[in-house]
A and B are shown apart, each in its own frame.
Chain A
């Protein structure tokens, strides 16, 4: 009986990978999950056959579990190892791939088996193209971003073995952790999202986007420069290849030029709207509807119009 593994920093991400693994129907699924036994047990309740807890240890990096995982993999011989593509997850996946001398597909989507080969889509060239890759290696590691699969649940509560994975000390000593303050937003769960970009000449104008988001019952998000260079919004709110990949019912891009790396992050949105003063903004070309105009004029008008229409 073949085995698949799922490895993720959080139980919620593990539950998403679980769907990918279950859909392939390749034997039992063993989960390795960040957090304590409760976190691991919740992944079993979601449908994993058994789970190990990989809590963050003081003094050690989470990736230090790689060596314990590699030893276990030599015994279990999992055919597929799904890893949640957080930064720690990606690093762990690459280390594990080098130790096991196996291929690793980074941020795979639509993972399937075609003529016996594990096959996946992945974005390349900054979102310009979709690359289909395949492999027939006996063990394959695939990293998967949050939001690529919907959370899996078998329905009735299940039970399976849950234990802690013993880690080994690595070469790197962790001397401190500084968690980002504030609640973490869950953009991938939002039904409507308003994204702001460099078209906002000054920070004060963000209030106009906030008003629209409020009227729509939407979450506020942004393009990479707004979070990384201007620091107007926290990084967890930027959409794109290297940020959040979302699939809301409605995405309204305001003052966003439409770089492929941003567009990639909203490719699966049901409806996309672009508001831009530049008629030739590439964003208009990848939207269902566009309004060419000054955002200071368009946003208040749109906020007024939708505040009566939205059923939140």
Chain B
């Protein structure tokens, strides 16, 4: 294992996003950019492989405003970061994202292992890892819960709906890891200070293969908070006792016809 590339996404913090109660539109004005939470596990998986093999560990990301992500991810143990900012990534679909990331990996000369997380907090499309594998011609193993290296072989356990699947692969592979794979530590002060000295390099879209069509094929028609048509009746309001509230609830559920 000579080189591992971790793909990460720089996303808006959902906790800062407000919903306009009348228009149901999202207000992202006050939202800060943060590291996609699932990607902490992907980076930590790379850090552990580096610790056991001494491999090179590179992070890559593509977005519209990703430069400031470098310090964050470098403090988590990556050796170097390559980031790409381009308007094509604004509201990009998974096809665009995976083509841009694959182009970046090609430009960097490929990798023995590419690690993605299960999904992004914002889009939750769960496509990037498998799409990347197909585009790069690498093997694809998704939903990985454990990684074991033995010589040139990678032994992986996948967490699937009906149980676990153990697999082996002996060539360049793209994996996606599930959150239970590890428990990423919070970076130490030393790591945070050390991150400033590590290299962070911009890659322009024009540096990638320009003949490729990378435009998004999915068009966003609207993004609105769902309408909540619930009654919101608090049965214990105004000091009603629990016993009385329970009786009232039983009556309500009976008249709603759900008991």
Contacts and interface: CB of A to CB of B under 8 A. Distances in A.
Nearest to B248: A289
Interface stretch (A20-28, A40-48, A74-82, A171-179): A171-179
A86 B166 contact: no
Interface string B168-203: 110101000001100000000000000000000000
Interface stretch (B81-89, B103-111, B135-143): B135-143
B250 A305 contact: yes
Contact of A290 (B164, B165, B233, B253): B233
Interface string A248-264: 01100000000010000
Contacts of A94: 94, 126-131, 134
A291 interface: yes
A113 interface: no
Interface in A227-274: 228, 236, 241-242, 249-250, 260, 267, 270-273
A102 B159 CA distance: 27
Contact of A63 (B123, B140, B179, B245): B140
Interface in B199-257: 217-226, 228, 230-236, 242-243, 245-247, 249-250, 252-254, 256-257
Contacts of B242: 291, 293, 297-298, 301
Contacts of B149: none
A130 B131 contact: no
Contact of B221 (A90, A134, A177, A290): A134
B258 A270 contact: yes
A242 B128 CA distance: 17
B26 A291 contact: no
A95 B133 contact: yes
A192 interface: yes
A99 interface: yes
Interface in A61-99: 61, 63, 86-88, 90-91, 93-95, 97-99
Contacts of B134: 94-95, 98-99
B144 to A, nearest CB: 11
Contacts of A204: none
A170 to B, nearest CB: 7
Contacts of B19: 128-129
A171 B171 CA distance: 8
A208 B166 CA distance: 38
A91 B232 contact: no
A284 B26 CA distance: 21
A125 B259 contact: no
Interface string B31-64: 0000000000000000000000000000000000
Q: Find the residue from A124, A286, A297 having the highest chain B CB count within 10 A.
A: A124
B246 A305 contact: yes
Contact of B167 (A97, A119, A172, A180): A172
A256 to B, nearest CB: 14
B33 to A, nearest CB: 14
B235 A290 contact: yes
A309 B250 contact: yes
Interface residues of B, number: 79
A270 B256 contact: yes
B163 A125 contact: no
B3 interface: no
A226 to B, nearest CB: 14
Given A128-B14, A177-B165, A98 B130 contact: yes
A126 B226 CA distance: 12
Contact of B163 (A107, A173, A179, A288): A179
Contacts of A95: 130-131, 133-134, 140
Nearest to A86: B161
A267 B253 CA distance: 18
A144 B162 CA distance: 18
A163 interface: no
Q: Find the residue from B171, B222, B224, B253 having the highest chain A CB count within 10 A.
A: B253
Nearest to B241: A293
B121 interface: yes
Nearest to B257: A249
A106 B94 contact: yes
Contacts of A293: 236, 242, 245
Nearest to A306: B250
A309 B254 contact: yes
Nearest to A118: B218
Given A129-B226, A270-B258, A286-B228, A301 B246 contact: yes
Nearest to A309: B259
B142 A87 contact: yes
9 contacts: A9-B161, A61-B167, A87-B161, A98-B98, A129-B226, A130-B226, A284-B232, A292-B236, A297-B242
